[in-house]
Structure 1
Amino acid sequence: MHILPWDLTVIPSKFFLFAEAAQYTLQITFFGILLGLMIGLVAALGRLSHRSWLSAVCRSYIFLVRGTPLLVQLFIVYYGLTSLVTIAPIPSAVIALGFHNGAYIAEIFRGSIQSIDIGQMEAARSLGMPRSKAMQRIILPQAFKRAVPPLGNQLIIALKDSSLASTIAVPELMLKGRQMGSSSFMYMEMFLIVGIWYLIMTSVLSFVMHRIEQRLKVSDRD
């Protein structure tokens, strides 16, 4: 019988040694997505602005970010900006993730806003409501609900993309796996543990986002 050249029995004993690294992964993902949400909302509104210069700036930002790899953007933030100011690895990873995800989130928000019937804005304007207030009170609440499913997908993508932070020495899961593998020469076993951790976290996030989506559907019916 063929036996795998890996000792899978070490996985249970080594699994929880990755707990602290998993916390770092969640930390940079959370703050990166939070920053990305703020950047994305601003960029989406700017993209839809009637001011041509503002719309052009936001389009350029989205074009540049979506057209270049996250790893390149991460290196630019960490290595490029250090000539101006010293930035630690974790803040660098958060900034890069926020900057990167902001472009994709901007497109999610833009699509959600444009999916709202334009008649609602026209009705609000006909009642004397300023465009900014109509956007804030009528359009954005509906757009946010429609944006939840794609935002959930983007959150999961951001969680997996956070593994690139290992290239700038952020002590997250992937770096922990490489370190444990090099010290024990059990690379496959260690990376299997990393994969299990990611699978658990993405499954939990998928469940939470699904519950939020279902809750919003219920509130719409009510």
Structure 2
Amino acid sequence: MGTVYLVRHGQASFGADNYDQLSDLGMRQCVRLGEYFRNKGVKFDAALVGTLERQKQSLACIAEGLQTPIDPLSWPGLNEYDSKAVVQAIHPEPLERPTTPELVREHFRLLREGLAAWIEGKTKPEGMISHADFVSGITSALDHVRATHYGKNVLVVSSGGPISTIVAHTLGAPLNAMIEINLRIRNSSVSELTFTPKRHSLVTYNTLPHLDSAEHQSWITYA
């Protein structure tokens, strides 16, 4: 068997004009994860990463913590959906920047509704592919891993949407199960899959072993 380590990017810049950048905390989360892998003796034979900046920055920080260079395969199918476009498809009016707990809750309420509408084919968010094509891009990464890296450790750095889709797909859950799975995924979390040439199996989901200490409790974030 082989093992896939699915890592969500570190904390990005939620509420900023450009979300697609790691915050200082997001960088520290991922460096700490790399240190954890190094201390556990985990070595990666291959790596895949999406093309978004926060995903590439996360992988670079993991490599820094590992103290080992990582030469990843760039895989656009691991990119996240556009949450702004998803929300605007059901709520065209401008939203206030989510600077209070109430506004944050409203943002995620609309995101849930928007994702459900996109998955069901009721909306076509501007600039986005269909949900079916989104899923195909993600599962193609799994197909590549099974076909190419059997018996190896593979690092996959992506985002909440693709990772939750992988989890739902692996479990044979309904398509819209990814919504709640997605909204529970923490920054820099690790989900593990074992795989054979024919299938993947879920082993762990959304774990933070590198932040499992009192001094790192304040590093745990979701957005």
TM-score range, shorter chain: 0.3 to 0.5
The TM-score with structure 2 as length reference comes to: 0.34
More helix by share: 1
The TM-score with structure 1 as length reference comes to: 0.34
Q: Which has the larger radius of gyration?
A: 1
**Greater relative contact order (CA < 8 Å, ≥ 6 in sequence):** 2
